[in-house]
A and B are shown apart, each in its own frame.
Chain A
C-alpha cells in the first residue's frame, strides 16, 4: 500500500468509480464522496493526504469550497482539482488559494500518477526537513546547557587561580603562610 491517502470527490458516478478503481489498482488507499457536502463531512472526521475533487459540482459546495474546507482543517492536505478545459482559468485561481495542481478532463491517469508521485516526494522532503530541524533544536538545547555550565566553571576557576596567584606572590607574608592560604583557597574548589 502506498502511503498517500486520497479522497476522491466527484458527482458523476461513472468517473468517480473509474478514478477509485485506477487508484486502488495502483495501491493507494482511497475513499470517495459523491458531492461537496459528503466530502466536507469526511474531511471533518479524518485526515487525507490528498483530495482529488471535481471543480464543478451541483449543490452549495463546489470544488473551490472543498479546497477551502480541506486547507482550513489541515494545511498539509494537498488538493488537486479536476476541471473541464473551459474552466482552466478558475483552476488557476484555485492554485492561488492553495491548490497543489489541476488536471483537465478527461483524466489522463499517467498524468495523475505523476502528480501524485510529485506530491509524495514533496511530503517526504518536508517531513525530513522537519525531522532535521527537530533534531537540531534538541542538540542545540543540550549543547547550550553544557556550554553554559562550562563557561561558568571556567570563569570560577579563573577567579580562583587569580586569588591563588595573589596569595602566593604576597611578599608581606611568610612563605608558609602564603602556601597555607593558597591551599585553603584550592580546598574550597
Chain B
C-alpha cells in the first residue's frame, strides 16, 4: 500500500475540496488511504504526489470522477426520516397545488421539485411515490422531478432504478414495494410509471445552477454536512435564489440553517421542519 505523507495529505485534501466542495478531516489519513489507495495503485502511482499529478493532467477527467465516487458518501434510503415525506404529502404538496392550479380548466398545474443531492435516487423516487399516491391521475399536472448529484456512479444507479434487497428493506413499505417495484433477478426495479416521472443528471452544487430554473420544493439533505461553513453559507444563499418566493426547502434532520442563511425561516409542522424565504 502507498503511504501518504502529511504534505501530500494537504495537497489531496485541497484538490478534493476544489473538485467537490467536500472537506475531509486531515487527521483521518487512513480515510484517504483506504478510499483512494486502490485507484492510485490501479494507475500505477508510486506516491500520492504522483497520483495528484496524474489526476490534474488527466484531460478526460476520468480520474477525477473515480476520486469523487470513492470519497462521496452515498448512504441514503427510501423515505429517510419519514417526517419530511409526511410533511410533503399532508402540507407542502396540497399548498403548492392550491396556489399553482390555474383558473382556466384546460391548463395544467405546474409543480417543480428538486432533489439536490439525489445519491442513488431513493429520495426522489420516494417523492414520486408520494405524488402518485396523492394525485393518482397525473394528466392535469405538469410535474418536474429532478435529481442531481456529483457522483456519476450514483446517478447511473439512480437512473437505472434497480435496488438490492438490503437497499429495499431499509425504509420501504411492503405496500409500496408491491405496487411500484418489480422483481428483477434477486433485486427490485422501479416500475416505468414512476421512472417516467423523474429525471437524473450530474451536477456539482459548488458550480452555478441557476440554469435549472426555479423550484417550488427543494430537498437538499445530508450533503452540506460535508462542506465548510463558508461553502454552506454560499450554497444555501444560491438555493434561496433557485427557490420560488413561496417555495419550501427541506434539509437533513440533523442539519441546521441558523447562522448559515438568514434568508430562510424555519417552520415546524407535525414532526418535521421546513424552511421558507423571508421575502
A residues with CB within 8 A of B = 140, 143-144, 147-148, 150-152, 154-155, 158
Q: Is B268 positioned at the interface, with any CB of A under 8 Å from its CB?
A: yes
Contact: B256 with A147, CB < 8 Å? Answer: yes
> Which residues from 81 to 98 on chain B have a C-beta closer than 8 Å to any C-beta of chain A?
81
24 contacts between A and B (CB under 8 A): A140-B253, A143-B254, A144-B81, A144-B253, A144-B254, A147-B253, A147-B254, A147-B255, A147-B256, A148-B253, A148-B273, A150-B256, A150-B258, A151-B256, A151-B257, A151-B258, A151-B266, A152-B266, A152-B268, A154-B258, A155-B258, A155-B265, A155-B266, A158-B258
Considering only CB atoms, which chain A residue lies closest to B255 in the complex? A147
* Nearest 10 pairs of A and B residues by beta carbon: A144-B253, A154-B258, A143-B254, A151-B266, A144-B254, A155-B266, A148-B273, A151-B256, A147-B256, A147-B254
CB atoms of A148 and B81 under 8 A apart: no
Starting from the known contacts A147-B253, A151-B273, 9 additional A-B residue pairs (CB-CB under 8 Å) come to A140-B253, A144-B253, A144-B254, A147-B255, A148-B273, A151-B256, A151-B258, A155-B265, A155-B266
Contacts of B81 in A (CB 8 A): 144
Measured CB to CB, the nearest residue on chain A to B258 is A154
Say what secondary structure dominates the interface of chain A: helix
Segment 60-91 of B: residues with Cβ below 8 Å from A: 81
CB-contacts of B226-279 with A (<8 A) = 253-258, 265-266, 268, 273
A152 to B256, CA, bound (A): 10
Interface size class of B (residues with CB under 8 A): 10 to 19
Which A residues lie within 8 Å of B273 (CB)? 148, 151-152
A33 to chain B, nearest CB (A): 28
Which residues of chain A come closer than 8 Å to B258, judged between CB atoms? Answer: 150-151, 154-155, 158
Q: Is the interface of B mostly helix, strand, loop or mixed?
A: loop
B-to-A contact residues, CB < 8 Å: 81, 253-258, 265-266, 268, 273
For residue A95, give the distance in angstroms from its CB to the closest CB of chain B: 13
Q: Which of A140, A143, A151 has the most CB of B within 10 A?
A: A151
Give A159's nearest chain B residue, CB to CB. Answer: B265
For B186, the closest partner residue in chain A by CB is: A98
Residues of B within 8 A of A140 (CB): 253-254
From A154, which residue of chain B is reached at the shortest CB distance? B258
Report the Cα distance A148→B14, complex, angstroms.
33
For residue B254, which residues in chain A have a CB less than 8 angstroms away from its CB? 140, 143-144, 147
The residue on B at minimum CB distance from A139 is B254
Most buried by A among B81, B254, B257: B254
In the complex, chain A residues whose CB is within 8 Å of the CB of B255: 147
Shortest distance in angstroms between B266's beta carbon and chain A's nearest beta carbon?
A: 5
List, in ascending order, chain A residues with CB within 8 A of B268's CB: 148, 152
B164 to chain A minimum Cβ distance, whole angstroms, is: 13
A109-B255 Cα distance, complex, nearest whole Å: 54
